[in-house]
Amino acid sequence: MDKIKRFFKYDFFIFLLDIIAVNASYFLSLVLRFSLGWRMDPLIDKYLETVIYFAPFYTVICIIVFFIFRLYGGMWRYAGIGDVNRILIANLITIVIHIIATVLFFQRMPISYYFMGAAMQLVSIGAIRFSYRLAVLEKRQITKTNAINALVIGTKENGSQTIKLLSMGVKYRPVAVIDCDNKDAGKLMNGIPVYSREEFESVIVKDKIKAIFLADINIDIEFRKSVIKYSKEHQIQFSDYTAFFSYKGDVDSFVDVISTQTSHSLDEKKSIPFSPPDISDAEINEVVEAMRSGWITTGPRVKLLERRLAAYIETGKTDYDTERDSSKWSNRLVCLYSATAAEELNLRILGVGEGDEVIVPAYSYTASASAAVHCGAMVKFVDIQKDGDNVTHMPEMDYEALEKAITNKTKAIITVDLGGIICDYDRVFEIVERKKNLFTPKESDGKPLGDLSSRIQKSIGRIAVVADGAHSLGASRVFRGEKKYCGAIADFTSFSFHAVKNFTTAEGGASTWTTKEGVDNAEIYHMYQLLSLHGQSKDALAKTKVGSWEYDIVGPWYKCNMTDITAAIGLRQLDRYSGLLDRRVEIIKRYDEACDKLGISHLVHHTDNMDSSNHLYLIRIPDITDVKRNEIITKLAEQGVSTNVHYKPMPMMSAYKDLGWDIKDFPNAYDYYRNLITLPLHTKLTDDDVKYITDNLARVIG
């Protein structure tokens, strides 16, 4: 639509003149060929019919060729030598076509007709464009009486292009050029004098410069600093044109975009990492104290962190005093070495194993599925909703597809609260309740784990809902009419405390669960301890009691316990966590505003019934492919902005391809992935960093 508007605004008149020119050229050549003074040779009648009948076909051919060779476009108002070459080649092609077509399909015309017609067509097509250039130049000069004097820094192609672009508008008048390499000083560029970099300040004073436009992408950092400093001190507008040479819109709008989006150019190029951990002196000091205490493996700090996290999940308070009633908060959550370990132990305590099916959204990280594979179960992927949830845009599971995927072998559904946005658990629980007739609980095998798993399955009485809450500590949603925090909704939930998460222990994770009727929380907690410590019946802390060295190995299980060193980080992170989440909200508001202006789809982290933990900021650029998306990521990286993609759908990964999955069966997941970019979202970002990111995003996309 924009291209059509631009055509009628700038090129329609040229288009009409071209139609007249190509027909008039050959008609006049025929008239000249058979002109005998003041009368016409009767032989003209023999050829006139050919010219008349061939004219419509030739007109269409010329217009198509002219379009192919870009003889229509706003830049014709400043045609140059490259444009002359395109005029020449396009006309030669149409001339050859004219000769061949008339000979093959009509009749051979006189040679002089071909030569004169070709010459007149070439001259007239070129004249139309260069006349238009002169007319526009004259118009611009008349309207530039109040224009701002501008200095362009940079020669060669970029400098020349910048001069053209500024000249096409009416706001700026380029009057001087600075050559950073001092090779072209003393010469003219597009009729404008070129000066050396040493003459920078004198030129600004002499020519009363009020705007500077940087066009040299290879400018050395010291000279750039001096230009920026001078611009600030003397209140001269500074704009960076180096990223905008592919712009095709209206020129005055182009300048407006430059003016509003390059204010950060007065600062140095930044280097913005994607997700560094936010570690303060409080965390460092606590780790030092843990190391000095002599207790660095699973110990008192781990137990304290477990109680405080359990209270946070229920109350939403990070400063809740759990030690006034420690028994209330004990045995409610277990800290582990990673979220992946937490997710696998969740499934093992549920009794998921060989012959069982676990349903997982195709759009997630591998940990959501690999835990089920570790347990020997079969993973069944389901697609996401088209373009994600219609409110939050989170790549949420297609619940109709979920319901269809359930069979009598389904033992668990993994829900993924991606980016910190909580799924529609009301919908998920409605589905598993409707399908409970297909569920058969596992019978006890007489062993501790098998017996506990059987009792848990019977207590639930349906397919278990297991939340992958790796991103979602602190997120909440109205569930069954009541506000619930992530960890207090699903039957079992896993959290990640990895270095890139909102809340970190460097490496770490946790499992929690909702209370099961007839099953004691302490029994569940104890089984997690066994599974995470080689099946050893006593942990190191329990064995420190007098005479309590002896222990048993209940099962040949795993080693994935959290240490007091990492728990020390977590304790102080939790003290600061509310503030960290609030800062993320501030950043998201700025991102939302920028993306809405650019027409970019993004996650909606807060609604009337849901508050996210604000972990990831996913955006989707309209109408691009994954190749173009990758180019945008590269361009942002060149400007120092690190981005990511969350995630490449699992059916695209070799491990899951080997299990028989094909991304073609998950079109919504692929469509969501192909144009997605994740912007940096972390509490080390300053407001200026956020502006730098959004400004560069606008540049690259523009």
What pLDDT score was predicted for residue 225?
84
Q: Please indicate, yes or no, whether residues 102 and 177 belong to a single structural domain of this protein.
A: no
Residue among 289, 311, 285 nearest 300 (CA)? 289
Lowest mean pLDDT among 83-92, 332-341, 558-567: 83-92
Q: Please indicate, yes or no, whether residues 158 and 134 belong to a single structural domain of this protein.
A: no
In percent, the amount of the chain with pLDDT more than 90 equals 64
Q: How far is CA 203 from CA 153, 164, 194, 196, in A?
A: 12, 20, 10, 10
3-class SS letters over 311-346: HHHHHCCCCCCHHHHHHHHCCCEEEECCHHHHHHHH
Tell me how crowded residue 677 is: count the other CB atoms within 10 A of its CB. 21
Q: How many domains does the chain have?
A: 3
Contacts of 230 (CB under 8 A, 6+ apart): 200, 201, 204, 236
Confidence of residue 245 (pLDDT cuts 50, 70, 90): very low
Q: Please indicate, yes or no, whether residues 198 and 181 belong to a single structural domain of this protein.
A: yes
β-pairing verdict for 606-607 and 148-153: unpaired
25: pLDDT strictly greater than 50? yes
Convert the pLDDT of each residue in 499-540 to its tens digit: 999 999 999 999 999 999 999 999 999 999 999 999 998 765
Task: Report which residue type is found at 373.
Answer: V
DSSP structure class, residue 385: P
52: pLDDT strictly greater than 90? no
Tokens of 153: 């820094």
Tell me how crowded residue 298 is: count the other CB atoms within 10 A of its CB. 23
What pLDDT score was predicted for residue 195?
93
Nearest 10 degrees: CA dihedral of 52, 56, 58, 61?
180
Q: Please indicate, yes or no, whether residues 7 and 105 belong to a single structural domain of this protein.
A: yes
Residue listed under structure tokens 């996913």: 618
- Whole-number Å distance between alpha carbons of 101 and 50: 11
Q: Please indicate, yes or no, whether residues 133 and 159 belong to a single structural domain of this protein.
A: no
- Does residue 83 sit in helix, strand or coil? helix
In a domain, 634, yes or no: yes
What pLDDT score was predicted for residue 547?
62
Q: How far is CA 186 from CA 177, 189, 212, 223, 227, in A?
A: 10, 10, 19, 20, 21
Tokens of 349: 């305590």
Average of pLDDT values for 664-669?
97
Average of pLDDT values for 590-607?
95
Convert the pLDDT of each residue in 413-433 to its tens digit: 999 999 999 999 999 999 999
In a domain, 413, yes or no: no
Report cis status (omega within 30 of 0) of the bond before 647.
Answer: yes
Q: Please indicate, yes or no, whether residues 37 and 104 belong to a single structural domain of this protein.
A: yes
Lowest mean pLDDT among 76-85, 160-169, 394-403, 469-478: 76-85
What pLDDT score was predicted for residue 249?
43
In a domain, 75, yes or no: yes
- Whole-number Å distance between alpha carbons of 393 and 675: 14
Confidence of residue 181 (pLDDT cuts 50, 70, 90): confident
Q: Please indicate, yes or no, whether residues 125 and 151 belong to a single structural domain of this protein.
A: no
| Nearest-10 crossing angle of helices 687-701, 251-261 | 160
Confidence of residue 82 (pLDDT cuts 50, 70, 90): low
In a domain, 234, yes or no: yes
Convert the pLDDT of each residue in 282-295 to its tens digit: 999 999 999 999 99
What φ, ψ does residue 89 adopt, rounded to 5°?
Answer: -65, -45
What pLDDT score was predicted for residue 31?
85
Average of pLDDT values for 436-465?
97
Quote the mean pLDDT of the chain.
88
Which of 266, 281, 308 terminates a domain? The answer is 266
Q: Is the pTM of this model over 0.75?
A: no
Q: Please indicate, yes or no, whether residues 7 and 136 belong to a single structural domain of this protein.
A: yes
Entry field: residues in the chain: 702
The neighbouring-strand residues paired with 213 are 152, 239
What φ, ψ does residue 644 adopt, rounded to 5°?
Answer: -155, 180
Tokens of 454: 């059987």
Total H helices, total E strands in the chain: 23, 22
Q: Please indicate, yes or no, whether residues 81 and 156 belong to a single structural domain of this protein.
A: no
89: pLDDT strictly greater than 70? yes
Convert the pLDDT of each residue in 548-583 to its tens digit: 667 899 999 999 999 999 999 999 999 999 999 999
- Whole-number Å distance between alpha carbons of 154 and 109: 53
Average of pLDDT values for 100-120?
89
In a domain, 43, yes or no: yes
Tell me how crowded residue 435 is: count the other CB atoms within 10 A of its CB. 18
- Whole-number Å distance between alpha carbons of 118 and 409: 79
Tokens of 337: 């070495």
Q: Please indicate, yes or no, whether residues 671 and 638 belong to a single structural domain of this protein.
A: yes
CA 12 to chain centre: 38
Helix (H) or strand (E) holding 479: strand 476-479
- The angle subtended at Cα 230 by Cα 225 and Cα 234, nearest 5°, is 155
Residue 596 belongs to a domain with what CATH number? 3.90.1150.10
Q: How far is CA 549 from CA 536, 539, 557, in A?
A: 12, 10, 20
Q: Please indicate, yes or no, whether residues 152 and 227 belong to a single structural domain of this protein.
A: yes
Identity of the highest mean pLDDT range in 15-24, 202-211, 607-616: 607-616
Which of 206, 239, 266 terminates a domain? The answer is 266
In a domain, 602, yes or no: yes
- Whole-number Å distance between alpha carbons of 79 and 455: 82
Average of pLDDT values for 608-631?
95
204: pLDDT strictly greater than 70? yes
In a domain, 19, yes or no: yes
634: pLDDT strictly greater than 80? yes
Task: Report which residue type is found at 403.
Answer: E
Which of 112, 140, 168 terminates a domain? The answer is 140
In a domain, 27, yes or no: yes
The neighbouring-strand residues paired with 602 are 619
259: pLDDT strictly greater than 80? no
- Does residue 619 sit in helix, strand or coil? strand
- Residue-range definition of the domain harbouring residue 682: 578-701
What pLDDT score was predicted for residue 251?
43
- Say how many CA atoms lie within 13 Å of 320 toward its Cβ: 20
Alpha helices in 351-394 (DSSP H): 367-374
In terms of phi and psi (left: phi > 0; alpha: psi -120 to 50; beta: otherwise), the region of 393 is: left
Average of pLDDT values for 340-367?
98
Residue among 356, 358, 313, 364 nearest 334 (CA)? 313
CB-based burial label for 702 (10 Å; 0-12, 13-18, 19+): middle
- Sheet bearing 601-602, strands edge to edge: 601-602, 617-620, 676-679
Return the biggest CA–CA distance within the chain: 131
Confidence of residue 369 (pLDDT cuts 50, 70, 90): very high
Confidence of residue 447 (pLDDT cuts 50, 70, 90): very high
Residue listed under structure tokens 């059916």: 651
Output 247 or 82, whichever has higher pLDDT: 82
Tokens of 580: 């960290």
Q: Are 309 and 574 in contact (CB under 8 A)?
A: yes
What pLDDT score was predicted for residue 380?
98
Residue 224 belongs to a domain with what CATH number? 3.40.50.720
Confidence of residue 261 (pLDDT cuts 50, 70, 90): very low
What pLDDT score was predicted for residue 506?
97
Q: Please indicate, yes or no, whether residues 119 and 204 belong to a single structural domain of this protein.
A: no
Alpha helices in 611-653 (DSSP H): 626-638
Output 341 or 105, whichever has higher pLDDT: 341
DSSP structure class, residue 283: H
Confidence of residue 2 (pLDDT cuts 50, 70, 90): very low
C-alpha gyration radius of the chain: 36
Convert the pLDDT of each residue in 150-180 to its tens digit: 999 988 877 887 887 777 666 788 999 999 8
Q: How far is CA 407 from CA 353, 378, 404, 438, 651, in A?
A: 15, 12, 8, 7, 21
